[in-house]
Amino acid sequence: MIKGVVLSILASCLFGLLYYYPVLLQPLPVVDIFCWRLLTSFPAIVVLVFIEHQWSAIRDLFKRIREQPMILVGLIFSSLLLTIQMLIFIWAPLNGHGLSASLGYFLLPLTMVISGQIFYKEKLSFLQKVAVCLAAVGVAVEIYTTGAFSWETAVVALGYPIYFITRRKLQIEGICGTFSDFFFIFIGCVIYFAFNNPFSQIVRDITHFHIFIPMLGIITAIAFAMYFLARRLLPLGLFGLLGYVEPVLLTLVSVLFLHESISAQHIISYSFIWLSVCVLALEGTIFVLRAIKRKRIR
């Protein structure tokens, strides 16, 4: 279990590094940085599929596409949803919106809980209801004090539930779904470079960023490998609880390295939202401790 915890935390640290990484690739445009990330990481995802012995699941997926061509529309839609999220992950820290995007990641567990209740009729526990109420108050205060709610926060917090619901509907979970999304985005990136970036520009980018561009793919692949391995080694409850580490790190990166600050008008709303996340974390801790206790009794 300790190995799984370490791997999960290290994966979160690498995703935190990737949040800052676009700064190292300036002045490349956001779309170019995004494409380089996909082009350099997709081959590593393929290797990961072989290491995880998941190639049969990939073959089954392509077989489903041949038998049900309409599923291709859903797979492309899933890839587009992930593309939006990955572009925001790059755009936000480069444009002074790192904190707004990280707040979306804080809200994500809550929007996932609410989505489960709405779409899958999952019942909310008492602490989950408390967390949802606190988050609702935070959002209401934010809208009242600023007259709006950050679109980056909304897209991250609401977009990912739609993405995961789509993947569940398509029945492409785990590494198979990741391969599918990366595969179609990879094709899109190749087409983008073919029509928008002349070969000489691509060579200049690789020459100028000869270390940073390859490392972008390597770090992404290692982060995903650690993430999938940790998910396999850890109980689901503990794995979900450790998922709160990443938004904390993204916030620290925004404040310490991107030099963003929380304005006075955001403090109250952010406090309610962070408090709601703490309530969810408390529930997760209680769940994990009870699971460990039951395991010891057995």
Number of domains in the chain: 1
Give the distance, in angstroms, between the CA of residue 101 and the centroid of all CA atoms in the same chain: 11
Cα angle vertex 43, ends 42, 46, to 5°? 90
Residue-range definition of the domain harbouring residue 187: 2-297
Q: Following CA atoms 168, 65, 35, 7 in sequence, which dihedral angle do they give, to the nearest 10 degrees? A: 40
pLDDT at position 24, please? 92
CA 269 – CA 146 distance, rounded (Å): 10
pTM for the model stands at 0.87
pLDDT of the chain, 298 residues: tens digit per residue: 678 888 888 999 999 999 999 999 989 999 999 999 999 989 888 888 888 788 888 999 999 999 998 999 999 999 999 999 999 999 999 999 999 898 888 888 888 888 888 888 878 788 888 888 888 888 888 877 776 678 999 999 999 999 989 988 998 877 888 899 999 999 999 999 988 877 778 888 888 888 899 899 889 888 888 887 887 787 766 677 787 888 889 989 999 999 998 877 788 888 888 898 888 888 888 877 787 777 776 6
The total of other beta-carbon atoms located within 10 Å of residue 151's CB is 12
